[in-house]
Amino acid sequence: MAIQTAGEQKYYDLIEEKAKKMRTAMIIWISFLALALISVFSNILLGAVFGALGVFLAVRNRKEQKEMDKELERAGDKTEFFNQLIAPDALEVPDFQLIVTRDYIVQCTREKLYIRPRSEIRSKDIATEKGTKVLILTDQNGIRHEAARAKKKDAAAFDKICRALQAEE
């Protein structure tokens, strides 16, 4: 997908690290498949092992891509979603890879992309685990997501997120 608006650019800047990880994984599985093709001429067993590993990594990479696409589908009207990402009232917290807009909560870590309409968030709770405050979002299906964990250096950013989401202790 070609980037056409500033909102799309903001979204791709947010998911950049995860996208790099996925591109690297794609290069690796393609390399394994190429290695399998080359190896099959000298050692069929070795070629089969490389091929199986390449297929396994390809399936895993594709599954991760589909999960990211599914998360973006949660946004519904993508034009409105991208416009809200660049709106002046959007709260961007780079420390937590989080953007809070008027209608959406968007977070991208190395492991996971999380996009939810704010209307689907049932509760926003602040819990304390091992002396650390944790912001936990629960959606209407009961699925919990740890949005932020306050460390001493991130305390101000954590408080800012909690105020924006009107989280309760």
When pLDDT is cut at 50, 70 and 90, the band that residue 151 belongs to is: confident
- Per-residue pLDDT tens over the stretch 3-45: 678 888 999 999 999 999 999 999 999 999 999 999 999 999 9
- Whether 1 shows a pLDDT value over 60: the answer reads no
CB burial of residue 32 (10 Å; 0-12, 13-18, 19+) = buried
Tokens read off for 1? 């997908």
Q: What is the 3-state secondary structure (H, E, C) of the chain?
A: CCCCCHHHHHHHHHCHHHHHHHHHHHHHHHHHHHHHHHHCCCCHHHHHHHHHHHHHHHHHHHHHHHHHHHHHHCCCCHHHHHHHHCCCCCEEEHHHCEEECCCEEEEECCCCEEEEEHHHEEEEEEEEECCEEEEEEEECCCCEEEEEECCHHHHHHHHHHHHHHCCEC
Higher pLDDT, 30 or 130: 30
- Per-residue pLDDT tens over the stretch 54-94: 999 999 999 999 999 999 998 888 889 999 999 999 999 88
Name the residue with tokens 């290069």: 27
Residue 168: what pLDDT? Answer: 58
CA dist 6 and 24 (Å) reads 26
Residue 53: what pLDDT? Answer: 97
